[in-house]
Homo-oligomer: A and B are copies of this chain.
Amino acid sequence: MATVKLLTDAEIEVIPAAKAVFDDIRATRKSDFINNFWRGLANDPPLLKRTWESLKAVMAVEGVLDPLTREMIYIAVSTANGCSYCVHSHTAAAKARGMTEAQHAELLAVIGLAGQTNHLVTAMQIPVDEAFL
């Protein structure tokens, strides 16, 4: 269970500032479905709005990285942070953007390897090579 209330559509309806964001999420994603993350944030409409505006600016617009690559980077961070919800939601998003099983497998291999070498480096306290500076 969440530590905040997950607002229903009926509850959102009477909070204009939240309603406006929900409308924009639905319009941008061309889908009526709104996931729990936004329903939790809706308790604080300004935070909801800032977070959605950032997400839209970073993930939902044309950029120099393709949308699937951005979702895979998101999964990588979420994994290292141990955020179960985020791994689930962004893996779903990556699949929706066409991530194949082979790409998913390769993503997992890179994440696992990075996890390993990150730990080895830290345990050995390797100093940064001059060449990298």
Interface, chain A (partner B; CB < 8 A) = 1-4, 6, 33, 35-37, 40-41, 43-44, 46-47, 50-51, 53-55, 57-59, 63-65, 69-70, 72-92, 100-129, 131-133
Bound: A98/B74 CA distance, A: 21
Judge whether B64 and A106 touch: CB under 8 Å. yes
Judge whether A51 and B116 touch: CB under 8 Å. yes
- In the bound complex, residues from chain B placing their C-beta under 8 Å from that of A120 are 37, 40-41, 51, 108, 111-112, 115
Judge whether A47 and B114 touch: CB under 8 Å. no
Bound: A3/B74 CA distance, A: 15
Q: In the assembled complex, how far is the CB of residue A87 from the closest CB belonging to chain B, in whole angstroms?
A: 6
Bound: A113/B89 CA distance, A: 14
Judge whether B74 and A110 touch: CB under 8 Å. yes
Q: In the assembled complex, how far is the CB of residue A81 from the closest CB belonging to chain B, in whole angstroms?
A: 4
From B51, B53, B82, B133, contact of A122 by CB (8 A): B82
Judge whether A125 and B3 touch: CB under 8 Å. yes
Chain B residue at minimum C-beta to C-beta distance from A87: B125
Most-contacted residue by chain B among A74, A75, A132 (CB, 10 A): A132
Bound: A129/B92 CA distance, A: 11
12 interchain pairs, CB-CB under 8 A = A1-B125, A3-B104, A6-B126, A43-B101, A43-B105, A44-B109, A57-B109, A70-B106, A81-B122, A86-B117, A86-B121, A115-B116
